[in-house]
Structure 1
């Protein structure tokens, strides 16, 4: 709750000294559970409880089998950091340092849970040199120069009288100047300076008590909201920008872009707050005396600066601001520009060793720790694991954005807003894959809107310490601001975000695509490619060692590409047939294989489609057998075991993540069937044999299907069904209920809201580690992505997504392996892989 000594979050104080500077009053620590009067023992106990609780949860309470390889360690770091930030058992900046240290200790061991080489730990400390750390350091130096020369105070005294002397105008002037200064200077320092100027007026009898409270509340609100206005206004802004750059490096949001994104909602929120305060704390006086600034004491402030120092700071400030605003054209990174005031002020002597030592280095450690935490959560796959377990079904992008924004407001009232952003932004960008900026930026905005309590932010505490404001003043005003700011920010972003982000694209934002097998150039005119080693491939899968297996629909072969890139034929002959059971797979014949699946022991299961059965190739002996079906089409009412089961064209098969069940798309029996591998039982999961569109919410086993072309199961027990002629994606949930989640049933091509999206004869699907569904949209020659958390469909390859050489021609297969999406580009006789 009580901040972290930071730039917009600096640990303020409970009262002002005689110079108007904040003191370190122990009465306003803002700690949620720690009362400093009881000493360090309670802090030690709380720290121990956080440590033990986080360790137990990460390593024992959570099912470690569901976590990624380094998931338990990453979850331990996340839980411990979040709990320490909330309880403030140790200072917030110390938590940032602890995160980096724990990352080195738990993830830095070569050959351990995460690191692979002896030097990988060095990457963990590279965050201290992150451009955003230097950006804020440059901002600190610039603010220190302005404070030393009194440039900030002169600017305020110059601007305030221009707003007029009417009470509402004076209030607007105070709020506007505070907001402006707070865009570049610590909100604590800005509030302290403005209070020092206003105290002669506040303490006098020239204004009524009601208006006095409104003036102080307006000052605090403006200092808080000022952080929204610029990239260096508050650490959550920088954390959001860093997270977006990590997800999509082609987007580089600079100083100018942030002004377009953050300044308008900040100003709009300021004006709304002014209207509320002007009405709620109206003064009966016609005018307010504006000579209060003339009586402001300079006692305790440094001696008047030399003229050359003021000139140097003024010119450097303007030059830095100009370079920040024009970085898009001169291509000097925003963080690099920050070295201008650092170099000029230190080499000219504007700032000496004393002033440099007095900068807020604790904030830099907090930012670096937050960046390290974000990297840990995302790179280990923990964020995807968390998101997959959040109850977000039915939420669209807007719903997720609103939820995350208001969650940020709530948490930021009880912990540092920087700490809240450190925890929530990595999760937010993972939830909204493809729409990361629409969630990350509102979280940053919302972090500036938490001000419900006197100790929620330093400006609040400084205003409260004057003795003129009451707790209930902050409560109702904070609730109002907390409701207004997220909605204003989200509304503005929905109107302008795409246009602003389009200005930030650096270089080509096309996906990373590679050819794995086959010709690099796509065939021209839609004809099938004739060169290369493959003959109309349809499906791929991987074994535990990373070897890639391919089945050909017309070529009749099963091929293996080992991890060294060597391609060999392991099964099948060019002629179609149904023979070879009990002998070497290389002598067997198949008929129109459509795809394959590899079990936990690396045995291959093949959808021998027109033989109406599933064939099995033993990993150890290479012998082929018929695993399920007998080569004759039909339906056995699920009365026997796998061997005796009958199918009517096995079009697709897929194991669930635990490999204990094999799902079968029995297309002409219009059913999805499941084979229990341990008990050799076949059962119907969905479909009745009748072809029709199922009704949402009905039992899947009692519902018709159109024509189930492919099937895939996720780790939560949901079964996705892709319908070719139905042009739709459906899901059977853990309760056995079926519903349509993507596609409106009409043939066509449309991205966007999932239920309004259109497909054209989709042929196959797979799931990534985060639960996103990738679809081989054959008729549209594209790979589509369904995001279950945002309920949207996007195109990731084909239809202009990717270079011309990676144009698709009737893609029939997709598979996810080791962070790559593998695409069977059937008409081009090749296998591609891409990072979506």
Structure 2
């Protein structure tokens, strides 16, 4: 009998040329920003600029894992911009605890609860059973079935991570794809799942990490948004975009007379642990949706199921280990980055480089959304939100638009980036099926994401104002 050498698992991954160049350029930019005197920028701001440039290059090239860059940002801020800094500077610096606090920010607690509920839904088969029940009315006509698939995917993605939702729905869809004739219909159905998951994720604060990053940044400025308040802002856009995406995919890929069979059986787990999970998860979602009535913050509500599920042993240590901790660290790094940018005055300096006040408001908003969509197409949505949300909020000060609207817009714009397999994990899962050519993903991403960007920049601020949401 032979055994694999334990050393085989200790090998370090070999960096790609892009990663090597990213690391080199990041270190060069970091050092250059510290050594070159920059007019109008105080020493603290100059140090923060060095950290900011390093974070951009490491996140864009993924020279090291995204969550590792987030941790590095926190450490560098403590060593360079806190009361424990290794280098003295004029002026009072914030305590190191203010940066470490990002790891326990209330928004992290909100996401921790959301992740545990999402994992529990998968553990007890609740997500698949709910999908089976909700898809039954859509069986028969292929275009109607496509609408059903996208609707259920979007609804699940509002409370379960986009990636987990996509994986669950593909488990349902793979047998359906096999029954379809090869060609455009298969491509359309396979594309519909990631598109709907990305769109659905914008609907709630726990739907996708960029939402959490924007919430934390807004809370830091004293402009918190409730769970139901976020939904009021995001769900109208989500619904319009979902219908447009369905129309586009159905028109382009699915013939009118095509049929699609959905033979699905719901098999709800009736064990005591599963029933207790249903009660805890349902109560949590109900408390999130009724926050204005009881006044308990969504972050506090999000921590309640963590305690309840662990104390009742419905979820255990193994479930905790399976949580998406790298995502939580990435969000924490973004929170710390925003804190440092604000403390150091870097945001004021960066905003002052461009005469933004000379641009029409509509053009300015369109530019912000376009930058967010473009950047999030080639790097992580969360990394994009980490970089852009703090700057956008600083830019919004003094503009004739609510700061909350700008923060929400940038976060939602990140989720509209879905044109490449690398843009988002749901896209990668769809590409892995072999049914989605890259050219078709690019086309659908540009059309659907572009339409959403125009709606977000040019229509939604007016709608939010007319409805009195801001």
Fold-level similarity (TM above 0.5): yes
Alignment map for 1:326-337 (pairs within 5 Å): 326-337=290-301
Find the aligned partners of 1:415 and 1:143 in 2 and give their Cα distance.
25
Structure 1, 386-395 or 221-230: larger mean CA deviation: 386-395
Match of 1:276 in 2: 248
Match of 2:412 in 1: 445
Find the aligned partners of 2:51 and 2:155 in 1 and give their Cα distance.
37
Matched, 1:86 2:57: no
Tell me by how many angstroms 1:398 deviates. Answer: 2.4
One of 72, 79, 85 as aligned partner of 1:105: 79
8 A contact 2:34–2:46 mirrored in 1: yes
Matched, 1:467 2:442: no
Given the superposition, is the C-alpha separation of residues 413 and 41 from structure 1 closer, same or farther in structure 2, using an over 3 Å criterion? closer
Find the aligned partners of 1:275 and 1:338 in 2 and give their Cα distance.
35
8 A contact 1:429–1:439 mirrored in 2: yes
Tell me by how many angstroms 1:484 deviates. Answer: 1.1
Match of 1:482 in 2: 449
Gaps of 5+ in 2: 1-11
One of 383, 391, 394 as aligned partner of 1:427: 391
Match of 2:318 in 1: 354
8 A contact 1:254–1:327 mirrored in 2: yes
Structure 1, 66-75 or 90-99: larger mean CA deviation: 66-75
Alignment map for 1:158-237 (pairs within 5 Å): 158-204=133-179, 206-237=180-211
One of 235, 239, 244 as aligned partner of 1:263: 235
Q: Report which of the two structures shows the higher radius of gyration computed on alpha carbons.
A: 1
Tell me by how many angstroms 1:108 deviates. Answer: 1.9
8 A contact 1:257–1:500 mirrored in 2: no
Find the aligned partners of 1:380 and 1:114 in 2 and give their Cα distance.
11
Tell me by how many angstroms 1:499 deviates. Answer: 4.9
Tell me by how many angstroms 1:470 deviates. Answer: 0.6
Three-state SS of the structure 2 residue aligned to 1:452 is coil
Matched, 1:252 2:224: yes
Given the superposition, is the C-alpha separation of residues 286 and 78 from structure 1 closer, same or farther in structure 2, using an over 3 Å criterion? closer
Q: Which is strand-richer, 1 or 2?
A: 1
Match of 2:3 in 1: none
Provide, for residues 804-829 of structure 1, a one-character-per-residue CA deviation record: whole Å limited to 9, x for no partner. Answer: xxxxxxxxxxxxxxxxxxxxxxxxxx
8 A contact 1:191–1:220 mirrored in 2: yes
Q: Which is helix-richer, 1 or 2?
A: 2
Tell me by how many angstroms 1:396 deviates. Answer: 3.0
Match of 1:557 in 2: none
Find the aligned partners of 1:115 and 1:203 in 2 and give their Cα distance.
66
Matched, 1:458 2:458: no
**RMSD of aligned residue pairs (Cα, Å):** 2.2
Find the aligned partners of 2:65 and 2:321 in 1 and give their Cα distance.
19
Given the superposition, is the C-alpha separation of residues 82 and 500 from structure 1 closer, same or farther in structure 2, using an over 3 Å criterion? farther
Match of 2:288 in 1: 324
8 A contact 2:25–2:57 mirrored in 1: no
8 A contact 1:108–1:115 mirrored in 2: no
Tell me by how many angstroms 1:456 deviates. Answer: 1.4
8 A contact 2:348–2:394 mirrored in 1: yes
Match of 2:4 in 1: none
Given the superposition, is the C-alpha separation of residues 37 and 252 from structure 1 closer, same or farther in structure 2, using an over 3 Å criterion? closer
Provide, for residues 61-113 of structure 1, a one-character-per-residue CA deviation record: whole Å limited to 9, x for no partner. Answer: 4x434103411111011110011000100011111100000001111245833
Bigger relative contact order, structure 1 or 2, given CA contacts below 8 A and separation 6+?
Answer: 2
Find the aligned partners of 2:313 and 2:461 in 1 and give their Cα distance.
43
One of 493, 506, 511 as aligned partner of 2:461: 493
Provide, for residues 423-461 of structure 1, a one-character-per-residue CA deviation record: whole Å limited to 9, x for no partner. Answer: 111111111114322322111111011111122111111
Find the aligned partners of 1:43 and 1:78 in 2 and give their Cα distance.
18
Three-state SS of the structure 2 residue aligned to 1:283 is coil
Tell me by how many angstroms 1:120 deviates. Answer: 1.3
Find the aligned partners of 2:316 and 2:207 in 1 and give their Cα distance.
24
Find the aligned partners of 2:437 and 2:13 in 1 and give their Cα distance.
23
Tell me by how many angstroms 1:200 deviates. Answer: 1.0
Match of 2:41 in 1: 67
Alignment map for 1:702-721 (pairs within 5 Å): none
Match of 1:365 in 2: 329
Find the aligned partners of 1:92 and 1:114 in 2 and give their Cα distance.
32
Find the aligned partners of 2:463 and 2:174 in 1 and give their Cα distance.
41
Match of 1:129 in 2: 104
Q: TM-score, normalised by structure 2?
A: 0.91
Given the superposition, is the C-alpha separation of residues 208 and 285 from structure 1 closer, same or farther in structure 2, using an over 3 Å criterion? farther
Match of 1:693 in 2: none
8 A contact 1:85–1:415 mirrored in 2: yes
Find the aligned partners of 2:355 and 2:227 in 1 and give their Cα distance.
36
Tell me by how many angstroms 1:218 deviates. Answer: 0.8
Alignment map for 1:281-320 (pairs within 5 Å): 281-283=253-255, 285-291=257-263, 293-294=264-265, 305=269, 307-320=271-284
Find the aligned partners of 1:207 and 1:314 in 2 and give their Cα distance.
39
Find the aligned partners of 2:150 and 2:305 in 1 and give their Cα distance.
27
Provide, for residues 565-601 of structure 1, a one-character-per-residue CA deviation record: whole Å limited to 9, x for no partner. Answer: xxxxxxxxxxxxxxxxxxxxxxxxxxxxxxxxxxxxx
Find the aligned partners of 1:44 and 1:276 in 2 and give their Cα distance.
40
Find the aligned partners of 1:406 and 1:290 in 2 and give their Cα distance.
38
Three-state SS of the structure 1 residue aligned to 2:123 is helix
Given the superposition, is the C-alpha separation of residues 329 and 215 from structure 1 closer, same or farther in structure 2, using an over 3 Å criterion? same
Provide, for residues 613-652 of structure 1, a one-character-per-residue CA deviation record: whole Å limited to 9, x for no partner. Answer: xxxxxxxxxxxxxxxxxxxxxxxxxxxxxxxxxxxxxxxx
Alignment map for 1:571-720 (pairs within 5 Å): none
Match of 2:29 in 1: 53
Tell me by how many angstroms 1:244 deviates. Answer: 2.1
Find the aligned partners of 1:142 and 1:418 in 2 and give their Cα distance.
21
Three-state SS of the structure 2 residue aligned to 1:462 is helix
Find the aligned partners of 1:324 and 1:498 in 2 and give their Cα distance.
25
Provide, for residues 692-742 of structure 1, a one-character-per-residue CA deviation record: whole Å limited to 9, x for no partner. Answer: xxxxxxxxxxxxxxxxxxxxxxxxxxxxxxxxxxxxxxxxxxxxxxxxxxx
Given the superposition, is the C-alpha separation of residues 114 and 418 from structure 1 closer, same or farther in structure 2, using an over 3 Å criterion? farther
Three-state SS of the structure 2 residue aligned to 1:278 is helix
Tell me by how many angstroms 1:203 deviates. Answer: 1.4
Find the aligned partners of 2:466 and 2:71 in 1 and give their Cα distance.
36
Find the aligned partners of 2:34 and 2:449 in 1 and give their Cα distance.
36
Match of 1:633 in 2: none
Find the aligned partners of 1:332 and 1:107 in 2 and give their Cα distance.
34
